[in-house]
Structure 1
């Protein structure tokens, strides 16, 4: 178990780079626009958003290398993309070069949401799989906090402080790229490629008591591996896991989580808080996210995925409903921040802890990367669309109506959890494959 924990943590560090890369740009925001004299539209859609569009592309196509060249090699290339992005962006002297290297980082983010959870889910024992895979989400949240801290510490580094803010990520990216060479390839992926001897050697490291014949039998690869090579996730028999991945990804973004994280200071200002109070509340949101993500990591293999989603859904409905009421009734002061702290806690312990674990569990071994890519793509396309609509919606229908829409969507999520979502706790990936396809 110690080796599996070490390998899982190593792969999950891709999440740290994900979180760090996503937030670190905030420290260079205004400085870059002043430096290159760009319009608001160009600055927002190209300079600031290019990494996000790279994430969408990486999520859509990241399943291809994850399946073709393997989980380990894909993770190595992800580290290289982050490294190139950090170095290239920090030395850029024009907005287009900067945007290009930020796009590379986005590719790394999108691909990491596929390769890292898939890898950990395939090496982890069933009883610990949820906790180990959710380390990826914990690292995302940790990376976000470290980026905020790094930007704060480097804010007075001179005229080129923004270069240090962006370039500092080269150090964790380089460290990650080196240590990911030390992990073995996923034995399940090796077996799916009929590389039996290599899979046996890795399996002996992962679980010395396991027999390769038993795993082959569980995976049904003894006689029909060739028949499965042409399959896709869009076949009729895989419709149910496809719908599960679609709905959990859709509800994740229709909770409003990314819209809120991107515009937290604006939302707090709308609630009547001053600038300093809004910034302090944003820091508190980050700490709350980290603490409750950690709680979710510890609970996911104890109470199960569905229980956490029940807790999160009910917390979403209550908190978002209260936020909506607060805006409609024009409550001012600390009510809205308190309600939004509850919202973040509900997300972190529920959807935040569950989504990447759940999607990595519900597809068969030979289609796991494709399934991860589908769920991740739905997530990131909506993550690009919904936050971009927030300023417009706030100015037209108002913040109260926006949060009411999010609250109603979480009622639908609760129905999804009650009537559709299966529990995956404590079952092997092969047992889940049999269970889900029989539902």
Structure 2
């Protein structure tokens, strides 16, 4: 594997670390903030806890515009700045509305990163290594999640302002990422789509890519009568890609993954664990997530996207069903943490490893950011709605029923993978998109 491509992919994928850290770090401050600001379950869930996710929705919906207009690199730089401001502002906030505003800015960074980073990496990666390289983004997400859980645990006993340190420590990796992003080149495929062909060729020469760049030129020629200005992802010819992106993004959140990550300590306490043990169990979740994400990234270009999704779906169905059963039958001890560890493993090796790779592969070059934006928007709208409803759903319907619903949804995901999802392993981006048009 070309070392320059690997280095640039690692730098771009580090946006995923900030994504993972920012998403989960709030779990350590969950109950403290609700008590501090005397918030109701509805206000706490939908404003204090979920405001970053609503920012993520906006970032996902509109992040395709800067990614397309000013390029992948500049968008990645803006993302780093947003994370830096968000971390500092959240830590210094003394009011729930000010806190929510700065968390919203971090959400914008998360949403935009799910578009710009996978698109950038997929466009510089050779076909044979694309899954693993784009998978680095997901690896960094779960590494960030693990670091957030670990950081929260280590900072939990430093005093009443521990939550400020939990949130503020993210300033340091955000600054490091922003500085590193200056050193990467622009995506050559984006330059081609902007007809800056000579600049793109220079970058391909610089990285020594063996990709057939002529196929990119041919793709541009074939679409010369349908430029990005008058073509969009909602046209009939792209309907199948749109359905694929919608379903994989929707099922990702209908597994309950974000609801669980946001409220892991609370769920463990509901299962009978003490507060400190619950927080420690959350670190275990982070380790399991990291290990099985590594396995998924290792296998994605060997077994393919579909097989990993099938393995993950079966693991989802079993583990979520057993979590629901544990709450129905009042099993105590390590039953619930054990099944939730299995749930995280199933997610990491399946949806976690595949989603951002798959979404970044199936649209043509000039619509990739728009397709990525659509998939990210579906993902994050549900990721905002579901966690914000968790406190109410747990109270109204019971924890067991909520997890039973998630298990039921994963049966439909398994059917989707078996009957609809195409394999994209080892196929160039141009060939993938051409094969799916008008299908």
Query: TM-score per shorter chain, which class?
Result: over 0.9
TM superposition score normalised by structure 1: 0.94
Q: 1:274 to 1:165 in 2, by over 3 A?
A: closer
Question: Number of residues paired by the alignment?
Answer: 437
Map of 2:416 onto structure 1: 416
Give the drift of 1:231. Answer: 0.6
1:192–1:225 Cα contact (<8 Å) kept: no
**What is the DSSP-based 3-state SS (H/G/I as helix, E as strand, rest coil) of the residue aligned with 2:431?**
helix
Q: Show CA shifts across 1:140-194 (max 9, x none).
A: 1111111222233334555544333322211111111111111111111101011
**What is the DSSP-based 3-state SS (H/G/I as helix, E as strand, rest coil) of the residue aligned with 2:233?**
coil
Q: 1:422 to 1:83 in 2, by over 3 A?
A: same
Q: Which structure 1 segments of 5+ residues have no match?
A: none
Q: Which structure 2 segments of 5+ residues have no match?
A: none
Q: Write the distance in 1 (CA, Å) between the matches of 2:331 and 2:323.
A: 9
Q: Write the distance in 1 (CA, Å) between the matches of 2:385 and 2:161.
A: 32
Map of 1:147 onto structure 2: 148
Aligned pairs for 1:33-432 within 5 A: 33=34, 36=37, 41-157=42-158, 160-207=161-208, 209=210, 212-217=213-218, 220-222=219-221, 224-225=223-224, 227-229=226-228, 230-432=230-432
Q: Show CA shifts across 1:376-425 (max 9, x none).
A: 11111111112223333333333332222211211111110010000010
Q: Show CA shifts across 1:266-307 (max 9, x none).
A: 333333334444333322222111111111111111100001
2:23–2:262 Cα contact (<8 Å) kept: no
Q: Write the distance in 2 (CA, Å) between the matches of 1:164 and 1:244.
A: 41
Q: 1:102 to 1:308 in 2, by over 3 A?
A: same
Q: 1:120 to 1:209 in 2, by over 3 A?
A: closer
Give the drift of 1:92. Answer: 3.2
Map of 2:434 onto structure 1: 434
Q: Write the distance in 1 (CA, Å) between the matches of 2:11 and 2:379.
A: 24
Q: Write the distance in 2 (CA, Å) between the matches of 1:264 and 1:110.
A: 22
2:118–2:357 Cα contact (<8 Å) kept: yes
Give the drift of 1:259. Answer: 1.7
**What is the DSSP-based 3-state SS (H/G/I as helix, E as strand, rest coil) of the residue aligned with 2:437?**
helix
Q: Write the distance in 1 (CA, Å) between the matches of 2:280 and 2:87.
A: 28
TM superposition score normalised by structure 2: 0.94
Q: 1:300 to 1:273 in 2, by over 3 A?
A: same
Report which structure shows greater RCO (CA 8 Å, sep ≥6).
Answer: 2
1:361–1:429 Cα contact (<8 Å) kept: yes
Q: Show CA shifts across 1:204-233 (max 9, x none).
A: 12335556444312xx21363352221110
Q: Write the distance in 1 (CA, Å) between the matches of 2:318 and 2:38.
A: 44
Q: 1:151 to 1:342 in 2, by over 3 A?
A: closer
Give the drift of 1:29. Answer: 3.9
Q: 1:64 to 1:142 in 2, by over 3 A?
A: same
RMSD: 2.0
